[in-house]
Amino acid sequence: MKNNTSEERLQELQRAKNSMKAWTRQGRNWDYNVMCRRYPDRKLRLALVEDLRSRGFFIANAPKEEDTVHEGELSNPESPALVSSTTEGFGSSAEESLSCSDSSYGNDAAQRDPSRQKAAFGVRTNMQKMGLYEKFPLDTPILLEFDQYLVDHLNSSHCHQQVENVSRMLRYIQPTGDDISMDFLGKSTKTKDYIVDLKRAQLLPATIINYIKSMIQFVEFLKTRQVDDQDFRRSCDSYRSLLQSLRKPVTKANGKITRCEPFVEGQKSLAECQRVLLDSNKDMLGILRNLQEDKQVSAEEKTLFRYYCEAVLLLGHVQRPTVAEKMTITEWLNKKLINGRVCVGVDPKLATFALTIKESAMLDAYYLHIRPDYLREDVDDNGRFFISATGPIRSATGDLCRLQAHYKLPNITNQEMRRVVEAEVSKHCLAEQQAHVAHYMGNSTALAEHMKTHQAAVTAANTLSSLAGFSDGSGDDRSGRAQKRGRETDEEASGEKRDFAEFVDLFPVTLSGQPPTKKQRASTGFPTDRAFYDKWRALQYGKREEYLLAKRYRRPPTVKKVAEIIGKEGWTANHPRPEDIVANWKPSKKIHIETDQDIMKRITTQKWSGLAVRDFGEKRGQGVVATKMFSKGSVICDYHGMLITAEEGRQMQESRGIEMGHLYFFSSGGRKLCIDAHTFPCECHPDGDTTGRKMKRSGKNPNVQPIHCRMLFPEGEKDTVLLVAAKDIVVNEELCFDYKDS
């Protein structure tokens, strides 16, 4: 550039500098996560990493040098390299078992670390960095079939997590493509790599076992799809053998942790294991009082109360997590009072436990006041007792862990609790008492018939209650409370703690009100920090948002129109943005029962939400109660049965002596018809029962009204009798209607 001007040379120099800087920042920097997706072969990828490092390139998120094991060392599943890498150095808790939104198989070994929440974040991050978290879409046809297989054939309560485990493992083996190929059955090296990488991501052995177990179940599912293809079945058997060989060293590592932990950390006392029940008791009694008095209870308090109820079963009565996860509303409603304890049977083959009156009141308050808030029309609760906003709870073990973390207590798993109880029982109880407790905990089924009664459950529960008096250290720090996370206040040192319900009573939340100032909060004895202040503002914000969305508009609202309403109300702060109201606004739904798709779907599937069957004793038999509130005019269910003529119904009534409660007569278009609910099961639902036929008759005080409709099903019109709320119905109210209306 000797013929160029000095300004041009300076510009070219500056351009070269900028180009060099850009290349230094971008061209010399590689991301190992991107390399995992671009170069799926692990051996070649590690060789490329080594070559780039030797040339001075920087590789972000790369594995440590000691982790870059040569591919040849991983070819044999029984090689020392694989065994040592699988049985040593497992890190903190597994991602699935510690996630606040997802749940794992409830394997207690995966949740021993008291600092589980930090570990969960680290494990998830590690998996994402190493390319282990990617997965096939869960709506892939074969994964949907596998999900249904787990539900129908294995009765799995964690099928969603199992499908995700399989999806992640298959995506690692098959990094490209949208459809799952059966070629993975021959890729043993990639399968071994995935197990090793799970260990490097610091998953515990228990969770790695769950991944392998899920994959084994998936292979068994594939065999059911191609029964006649013998070559394919042999490939499945060979791959299953590979998975079983990979599981052996991991199982050995998990066994070492389980056996050695009590000796390393020392055996905990029963009081230490149940500490969270003691520390949270005062708070839970306060929430119980507020629920019974219909006072304000925050969403966080409701969630903690549910956690506590689950902890009562897992720690107080040493039940397995499956008991809390599978317990149904019907089983709770059919509880019995035996010798001062409330006995609940959860699937006769699963468990029967005996609660104290206080514990029963806690669970009943959850059922009456908290559970209805979680019910949603678009989510099937499957009749489960413990549910969250997304449906039935997935992991009672995870909920227990979160409760202990809230009170900053060490994580005591159900498995650890069971070991402590077994040791205490063997030390202080007679042989017959030991047998009762073993059956109560679900450890033994080999008992005489007289030991399988509700009275035996009461005896075992009383034995467990008495063990606390023998436990070493049962009196240590019994009056202390662990500090909660979040803001720390000193109001307990100066006097009794005042809860948020009292705060709202003194400072009611209104649309136009102002939040109490710091001076007002201090003068009334409440904390001066922003905890209650922020909760108050959140409640007001929700009320204002609900007000704006519920307001009637002649046409879809505009941002200008909503802003005018906010201005007229005088709201200058703590209100939704007009843009958010416009985005979330939905026109009021005009329901035409005859064409309502949701009602027709429920008639076809016979899955009606908010209903449970209750046994009212020998005299009255079974009836139906509401498990949620029904407003007047809402459809509850249908009166389901075979449609026959009225003449056939009269003949059945005379010949068989059928009660009026099982035959409903009505007229339609000049025809006299009858719904036969006595014949059970009906032709369209041979494997299930229907709810409407169990409703009782009441001529004096019916709260349900039958209405005849001609539903427009895709296959044609059908005469249907819908049972509609005749008045507002509350939770736990028995449903009945007057058959004279027919």
Q: Are 147 and 445 in contact (CB under 8 A)?
A: no
What is the model's pLDDT at position 642?
A: 85
What is the model's pLDDT at position 69?
A: 43
pTM, two decimals, is 0.64
> What is the residue-averaged pLDDT of the chain?
80
113 pLDDT band, cuts 50/70/90, is very low
- Taking residue 322's Cβ as centre, other Cβ atoms within 10 Å add up to 18
| CA dihedral sign, ordered 664, 668, 670, 675 | negative
Residue labelled with tokens 């982790």 = 67
Mean pLDDT, to the nearest integer, of 576-588? 85
What is the model's pLDDT at position 226?
A: 80
What is the CB-side half-sphere exposure of residue 489 using CA atoms within 13 A?
18
Mean pLDDT, to the nearest integer, of 337-366? 89
- pLDDT tens digits, one per residue of 280-310: 999 999 999 999 988 888 889 999 999 999 9
- pLDDT tens digits, one per residue of 156-171: 766 788 899 999 999 9
Check whether 99 has a pLDDT greater than 60.
no
Any idea which of 139-143, 169-173, 337-341, 693-697 has the lowest mean pLDDT? Answer: 693-697
Mean pLDDT, to the nearest integer, of 423-450? 76
- pLDDT tens digits, one per residue of 520-569: 989 988 888 888 899 899 999 989 998 998 887 777 888 899 999 999 99
- pLDDT tens digits, one per residue of 120-153: 446 888 888 888 888 898 888 899 999 888 888 8
**Residue scoring higher pLDDT (619 or 134):** 134
Which residue intervals of 266-365 are DSSP H helices? Answer: 270-273, 275-292, 299-311, 321-326, 329-333, 357-365
14 pLDDT band, cuts 50/70/90, is confident
What is the model's pLDDT at position 191?
A: 92
- Neighbour-count burial for 650-662, b at 16+ CB within 10 Å, e otherwise: eebbeeeebeebb
What is the model's pLDDT at position 117?
A: 38
Check whether 105 has a pLDDT greater than 60.
no
- pLDDT tens digits, one per residue of 654-688: 776 655 557 888 888 788 888 888 777 777 777 77
Proportion of the chain above pLDDT 90, given as a percent:
23
How far apart CA 388 and CA 376 sit, in angstroms, is 10
How far is residue 256 CA from its own chain's centroid?
30
Mean pLDDT, to the nearest integer, of 14-25? 80
Any idea which of 175-184, 560-569, 694-703 has the lowest mean pLDDT? Answer: 694-703
- pLDDT tens digits, one per residue of 559-569: 899 999 999 99
How far apart CA 343 and CA 512 sit, in angstroms, is 49
481 pLDDT band, cuts 50/70/90, is very low
What is the model's pLDDT at position 217?
A: 92
What is the model's pLDDT at position 86?
A: 34
What is the model's pLDDT at position 78?
A: 39
How far apart CA 391 and CA 609 sit, in angstroms, is 12
* Backbone dihedral angles phi then psi of residue 158, each to the nearest 5 degrees: -125, 35
- Identity of the amino acid at 584: N
80 pLDDT band, cuts 50/70/90, is very low
What is the model's pLDDT at position 100?
A: 37
Check whether 93 has a pLDDT greater than 50.
no
Which own/partner pairs from 455-461 qualify as long-range (CB within 8 Å, at least 24 positions apart)? 455/338, 455/339, 457/338, 457/343, 457/352, 457/353, 457/354, 458/338, 458/339, 458/340, 458/341, 458/343, 458/354, 459/433, 460/354, 460/433, 460/436, 461/317, 461/341, 461/353, 461/354, 461/355
What is the model's pLDDT at position 617?
A: 79
* Backbone dihedral angles phi then psi of residue 615, each to the nearest 5 degrees: -90, 115
Q: Are 98 and 117 in contact (CB under 8 A)?
A: yes
Neighbouring residues of 29: CB distance < 8 A, sequence distance ≥ 6 = 57, 58, 59, 60
